């Protein structure tokens, strides 16, 4: 082959040498993973709210209040991990609230109604979550049904099953281990936050630096190309729904611990908050580009807004208005950025 420098100017040669740079910088993978995700918007929004609250309500930064924000953010953060994977793979799961509820009911039933040991009951809950995800994934990939329709329908099916079994009743009085997962603290840090952050770190490493994460981005970004390169697009798409189901089941167990109860009609608003956190965190709604760190920021931002509205003395209903406004502003910033990039 003709050497690259044969017909180049000295400027090109210098550039070629620069591009072939060595040293630690050359070996560092992109921090956020295979795709560039814009995090400036959620970071800027968080900074603006922090400054505003520092002036308007200084006890916003009290440890107790920050702990409350962390507790609110942790469940969205946790569910956001699964949803980030699903959306990055060019899917959407509208059934997470129902999966969370059904797996919680299964866990509670195994423990309370069937008298199974705690760890077996947890396994039952996680298995039900995984099976719900598998159900969604198989319908979407094998029958080629739209994700939106499948998961919207399965939301009704899963929630219906939970209601049928529970019959409108409530399971309560769970073992201390479970309530510790939902309410406990380690050195003042809420357990749900510890669990969510641990999973965020693990998921980020897989998502950003592992072969699986790289292929997942490709499956969402260009499924035709991924298939041509020998990647099992169907396998990955089913896999993300199963993963989402397991994550929702983990969320269900944590929520059970937090409430010390399982209510089959609960977790209705969790879907919108989770999708909002993922999108505000920079994950592209139509797949191919996503970030777990972005989702963490998105979840934190939503929890912060909700808390700030209460701290400022507004009626609780204003939380929705404020959260919606911030989501719109963030998405508008992304759209503006994308439009500029296309131009």
Partner 1 sequence: MSVVLSGIAKSYGAVKAIEDIDLTVEAGEVVGVLGDNGAGKSTLMKILAGATAPDAGTIMVDGETYNFANSSAARDAGIAMLYQDLALCDDMSVVHNIFLGREITNRFGFLRYGAMRKRAQEIVNSFSVRPFDVRTPSGHLSGGQRQVSALARTTAFGSRYIILDEPTSALSPSARDEVLAIVRDLADQGIGIIMVSHDLGHVRKVCDRVAILHLGRMAGIRNMAETSQDEIISLIVQGHA
Contacts of 156 (CB under 8 A, 6+ apart): 98
> Counting contacts by CB under 8 A, is residue 4 touching partner 1?
yes
β-partners of residue 189 are 186
Residue of 210, 321, 324, 325 that binds partner 1 (CB under 8 A): 210
> Counting contacts by CB under 8 A, is residue 6 touching partner 1?
yes
Site for partner 1, residues 324 to 343, rule: CB under 8 A: 341
Instruction: State the minimum distance, in angstroms, from the CB of residue 283 to partner 1.
Output: 11
Measured distance CA(13)–CA(94) in Å, rounded: 53
β-partners of residue 263 are 170
Instruction: State the minimum distance, in angstroms, from the CB of residue 199 to partner 1.
Output: 18
φ, ψ of residue 205 to 5 degrees: the values are: -60, -40
> Counting contacts by CB under 8 A, is residue 222 touching partner 1?
yes
Contact 60, 254 (CB under 8 A): no
> Counting contacts by CB under 8 A, is residue 32 touching partner 1?
no
Number of C-beta neighbours around residue 285 at 10 A: 13
Residue of 10, 26, 55, 316 that binds partner 1 (CB under 8 A): 26
Structure tokens at 225: 């190309």
Between 235 and 274, how does the x/- string for binding to partner 1 read (CB under 8 A)? ----------------------------------------
Considering CB under 8 A, how many residues would be counted as binding partner 1?
43
> Counting contacts by CB under 8 A, is residue 226 touching partner 1?
yes
* Three-state secondary structure call for residue 52: helix
Instruction: State the minimum distance, in angstroms, from the CB of residue 247 to partner 1.
Output: 20
Q: How many CA atoms lie within 13 Å of 306's alpha carbon, on the beta-carbon side?
A: 17
Measured distance CA(162)–CA(103) in Å, rounded: 8
Contacts of 240 (CB under 8 A, 6+ apart): 82, 85, 86, 88, 89, 91, 137, 216
Q: How far is CA 51 from CA 57, 187, 279, in A?
A: 10, 27, 24
- Our CB check for partner 1 shows the closer of 144 and 211 to be 211
- Our CB check for partner 1 shows the closer of 168 and 230 to be 230
Instruction: State the minimum distance, in angstroms, from the CB of residue 136 to partner 1.
Output: 25
Residue of 125, 129, 221, 266 that binds partner 1 (CB under 8 A): 221
Q: Could you tell me which of 74, 75, 49, 76 has the C-alpha nearest to residue 61?
A: 49
Q: At what angle do helices 292-311 and 40-56 cross, to 10 degrees?
A: 20
Instruction: State the minimum distance, in angstroms, from the CB of residue 137 to partner 1.
Output: 22
Instruction: State the minimum distance, in angstroms, from the CB of residue 3 to partner 1.
Output: 7
Q: Which stretch binds partner 1 (CB under 8 A): 17-25, 135-143, 158-166, 265-273?
A: 17-25
> Counting contacts by CB under 8 A, is residue 7 touching partner 1?
yes
Instruction: State the minimum distance, in angstroms, from the CB of residue 41 to partner 1.
Output: 17
Contact 211, 33 (CB under 8 A): no
> Counting contacts by CB under 8 A, is residue 66 touching partner 1?
no
Q: Which residues bind partner 1 (CB under 8 A)?
A: 1-4, 6-8, 12, 15-16, 19-20, 22, 26-30, 34-36, 205, 209-212, 214-215, 217-218, 221-222, 224-226, 228-231, 284, 288-289, 341
């Amino acid at each position: 082959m003709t050497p690259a420098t044969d017909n180049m100017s000295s400027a090109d040669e210098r550039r070629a040498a620069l591009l072939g740079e060595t040293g630690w910088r050359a070996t560092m993978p992109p921090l956020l993973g295979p795709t560039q995700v814009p995090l400036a918007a959620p970071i800027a929004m968080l900074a603006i709210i922090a400054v505003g609250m520092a002036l308007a309500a200084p006890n916003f930064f009290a440890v107790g209040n920050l702990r409350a924000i962390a507790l609110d953010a942790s469940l969205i953060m946790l569910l956001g991990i699964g949803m980030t994977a699903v959306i990055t793979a060019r899917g959407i799961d509208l059934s997470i609230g129902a999966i969370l509820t059904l797996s919680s009911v299964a866990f509670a039933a195994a423990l309370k109604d069937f008298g199974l040991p705690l760890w077996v009951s947890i396994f039952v809950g996680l298995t039900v979550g995984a099976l719900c995800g598998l159900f969604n994934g198989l319908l979407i990939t094998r029958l080629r049904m739209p994700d939106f329709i499948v998961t919207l329908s399965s939301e009704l099916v899963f929630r219906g099953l939970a209601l049928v079994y529970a019959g409108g009743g409530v399971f309560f009085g769970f073992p201390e281990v479970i309530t510790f997962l939902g309410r406990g603290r380690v050195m003042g840090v809420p357990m749900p936050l510890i669990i969510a952050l641990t999973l965020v770190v693990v998921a980020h490493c897989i998502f950003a630096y592992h072969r699986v994460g790289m292929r997942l981005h490709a499956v969402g970004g260009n499924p035709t190309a991924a298939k041509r390169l020998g990647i099992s697009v169907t396998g990955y798409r089913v896999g993300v729904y199963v993963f989402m189901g397991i994550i929702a089941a983990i969320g269900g167990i944590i929520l059970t611990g937090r409430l010390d109860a399982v209510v089959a009609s609960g977790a209705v608003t969790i879907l919108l908050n989770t999708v909002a956190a993922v999108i505000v965190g920079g994950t592209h709604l139509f797949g191919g580009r996503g970030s777990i760190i972005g989702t963490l920021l998105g979840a934190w931002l939503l929890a912060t807004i909700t808390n700030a509205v209460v701290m400022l003395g507004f009626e609780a209903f204003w939380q929705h208005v404020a959260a919606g406004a911030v989501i719109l502003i963030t998405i508008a910033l992304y759209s503006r950025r994308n439009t500029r990039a296309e131009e």
